Amino acid sequence: MTKLHRKSFKKMMGLAGLALICLLLGAPAVFAASQPPAAAADAPEIVTTGIPATSGMDTLTTIFTRRSVRKYSDKPVSDATVKLLLQAAMAAPTAKNTQSWEFVVIRDKNTLAQIPSFHPFAKHVPNCQVAILVCGNTKLEATKGHWVPDGSNAAMNILLAAHSLGLGGVWTTFYPYEDRTAGIRKLLNLPDHIMPLTIIPLGYPVEKRAYQDRFSPAKVHYEKW
């Protein structure tokens, strides 16, 4: 081997070594990037009200299979379950984190029976095991009107959490109907700054509602209308 050949051979070996080191250093990063998000070792411990915070149903399945349920069995819904649903409600995002929501838990059959008298689409309500009225507190909202999206997020969390636990429920709306709002305000003695958004009757379903794929590409607009 000539002196020139020896020099080029040394240079090549040096470059190959460097490439190997880069590969070894870079591999864990590449490997990590190709993995699904870890079930974070540093995830906070979720303290619940006595029943597990994990339901066994994954998030996407919960979202896609939730349907409105208006027929409920006689099986009771425990206070611990209701508390967990309220905990899920209060995990929702709100404008400026004001948490401008309030909740009324109603089990009294006599109270529930009166709701269809001022709400034309609530005949399923008296048959539930328990209902959660989701309200907004206008004294707490970030800006006038924010109680509506704040409360809606909480209501949606209740519906999804309930479904994931095998319960059924349905958004039964008060907002934006003045007559229904006046009816529930009177029935429950709601103060003026407490705005009823929706009542969610809950129970174990006796009907099985089919999954619906509602994805419509025509509803999606990219960059501009």
Ligand X SMILES: Cc1cc2nc3c(=O)[nH]c(=O)nc-3n(C[C@H](O)[C@H](O)[C@H](O)COP(=O)(O)O)c2cc1C
What is the closest distance, in whole angstroms, from the C-beta atom of residue 189 to ligand X in the complex? 22
Q: How far apart are CA 150 and CA 202, in angstroms?
A: 21
Say which residues have a Cβ less than 8 Å from residue 73's Cβ, sequence separation at least 6: 203, 204, 205, 206
Q: Which stretch binds ligand X (CB under 6 A): 29-37, 42-50, 96-104, 165-173?
A: 165-173
If the CB atoms of residues 208 and 224 are measured against ligand X, the closer one turns out to be: 208
The first and second tokens of residue 80, run together, are 């611990």
What is the closest distance, in whole angstroms, from the C-beta atom of residue 30 to ligand X in the complex? 41
Q: Which of 170, 194, 195, 202 binds ligand X (CB under 6 A)?
A: 170
What is the closest distance, in whole angstroms, from the C-beta atom of residue 170 to ligand X in the complex? 5
The first and second tokens of residue 21, run together, are 């080191």
Total residues contacting ligand X by CB under 6 A comes to 8
Phi and psi angles of residue 110, each rounded to the nearest 5 degrees, phi first: -65, -40
CB 200 within 8 A of CB 132: yes
Residues 118-157 that bind ligand X (CB under 6 A): 121
What is the closest distance, in whole angstroms, from the C-beta atom of residue 50 to ligand X in the complex? 29
If the CB atoms of residues 83 and 209 are measured against ligand X, the closer one turns out to be: 209
CB 188 within 8 A of CB 153: no
Q: Is 172 in the site for ligand X (CB under 6 A)?
A: yes
Q: Sort 176 into a burial class: Cβ within 10 Å, 0-12 / 13-18 / 19+.
A: exposed
Q: Is 173 in the site for ligand X (CB under 6 A)?
A: yes
Q: Which stretch binds ligand X (CB under 6 A): 47-55, 91-99, 138-146, 171-179?
A: 171-179
Q: Which of 49, 55, 67, 142 binds ligand X (CB under 6 A)?
A: 67
Q: How far apart are CA 65 and CA 55, in angstroms?
A: 14
CB 205 within 8 A of CB 71: yes
Q: Which of 8, 54, 61, 68 binds ligand X (CB under 6 A)?
A: 68
What residue has token string 């974070």? 40
Q: Is 107 in the site for ligand X (CB under 6 A)?
A: no
Q: Is 177 in the site for ligand X (CB under 6 A)?
A: no
The first and second tokens of residue 164, run together, are 């994931």
What is the closest distance, in whole angstroms, from the C-beta atom of residue 185 to ligand X in the complex? 16
The first and second tokens of residue 207, run together, are 């009907």
Positions touching ligand X (CB under 6 A) are: 67-68, 121, 170-173, 209
